[in-house]
Structures are given as C-alpha cells and as structure tokens.
Amino acid sequence: MKSSPNPAKVALKWLKKAHYPDRHFPLVSKMSLEEFLKSPPPGFEYSSSGHFMGQRGDTKIYLGPSFFRTPKGSRRLGLLYHELGHDLTLKLRFNDWWLDVMTPFRQGHSLNFENNYGASNHPSEVIADAYSALVVHNGEHWFEDEKNKRLIKRIKQGARILGLPLKP
Ligand SMILES: [Zn+2]
C-alpha cells in the first residue's frame, strides 16, 4: 500500500520557481485575438498552429486560434485554469501523488481513465479538468462518491503545496 504523499518530499525547487499568470486570467478571458496580439499579458504567448487551444509550457501558457474563438468569459476561464492545472502533474510526480487516487478511475487494463470533468482520458487531462472544475465551478460538490472526493482532496493538497489558486 502506498501511503499519502509527504509534502516535504515534493520537489521543493518548484516552490521557488512557482510563477502563475492567473492574475491576468480575467483579462485574457475577455480579449479578442487582435487585442491579445497587440499586448499579450505576461505569462502568455500566441501559438498559431492548427486547432491548438492551449498548452502549458514551463513558464508560459500558450494559446491558439481556437481559444480566441471560444466565447469570452467563464468557458475561457475554465480553459485557462485547465492549463494551470497541468502543473499538478508536471510538478508533482504521478506515482507519488496521483497513482493511488487515480487508480479507481482507471478503465480496465488500458491507460485510459474515467473523466467526470471533461472529455480526455489521459490521467493528466483528468486531473487538469478536475482542478479547473474545482476552481471555476466549485466542482467539489459535483460528486459525492469516495473516489471523486479523494481526487478533489488530493488536488487541493497539491495546489496548496505548489501555491496554485483554489479560487478564481
Ligand atoms: Zn490539457
């Protein structure tokens, strides 16, 4: 049995490097592509490739054309917090932090995981979707079953360790 992750053992270097552009999320959620290109807020960059929605880089969030075709407001906020939520698996080791809470979501012997918060079945996407739902839509109260409650609890722990916001 794997015990709960020990926060002290989590890569501390990330604590010092933590840099989140979430203070600009309300602005970015309302910008047209033209406005964004004229003066991109710090921590964001435009990527023109294909149907690219968004991607988390080391220090930036990359936004693609389809992000700016998404209606302004809460849907875009959800996408931005989703990208930020990728830090939970980029900065906290999957086997140490997520394996035990994610195992009940695993679909058979595949590497697909049940996603109650979004569409993609990759575990890092499930966690990013759940984080976004928690922050933007108070997803804490969506599901009352044990596995979802444990996942949300672990996400809150991870977010606190990394200094990720838990409110919009
Ligand atoms: Zn994603």
| 65: exposed, middle or buried (Cβ count in 10 Å: 0-12, 13-18, 19+) | middle
Task: Output the pLDDT for position 165.
Answer: 93
Is the model more confident about 99 or about 55? Answer: 99
Structural domain boundaries of the chain?
A: 18-70, 86-168
Question: Mean pLDDT across the stretch 20-49?
Answer: 94
CA of 85 to the centre of ligand 1 (A): 8
- Is pLDDT above 90 for 3? no
Pick from 74, 68, 86, 69: nearest CA to 26: 74
CA atoms of 41 and 37, how far apart (whole Å): 9
CA atoms of 80 and 74, how far apart (whole Å): 10
- State the pLDDT confidence band at 15, using cuts at 50, 70 and 90: low
- State the pLDDT confidence band at 16, using cuts at 50, 70 and 90: very low
CA of 168 to the centre of ligand 1 (A): 18
Task: Output the pLDDT for position 55.
Answer: 87
Q: Tens of pLDDT along 124-166?
A: 999 999 999 999 999 888 999 999 999 999 999 999 999 999 9
CA of 82 to the centre of ligand 1 (A): 6
CA of 39 to the centre of ligand 1 (A): 25
CA of 6 to the centre of ligand 1 (A): 26
CA 42 to chain centre: 19
| Residue in this structure with the two tokens 């600009």, named with its chain if needed | 24
| Residue in this structure with the two tokens 């606190």, named with its chain if needed | 160
CB 135 within 8 A of CB 78: no
Task: Output the pLDDT for position 20.
Answer: 87
Question: Mean pLDDT across the stretch 17-33?
Answer: 88
CA of 81 to the centre of ligand 1 (A): 10
Question: Mean pLDDT across the stretch 39-59?
Answer: 86
- Which contiguous run of DSSP H or E holds residue 21? none
CA atoms of 109 and 121, how far apart (whole Å): 13
CA of 33 to the centre of ligand 1 (A): 21
CA of 146 to the centre of ligand 1 (A): 24
This prediction has a pTM of: 0.87
CA of 8 to the centre of ligand 1 (A): 27
Pick from 81, 46, 40, 37: nearest CA to 67: 46
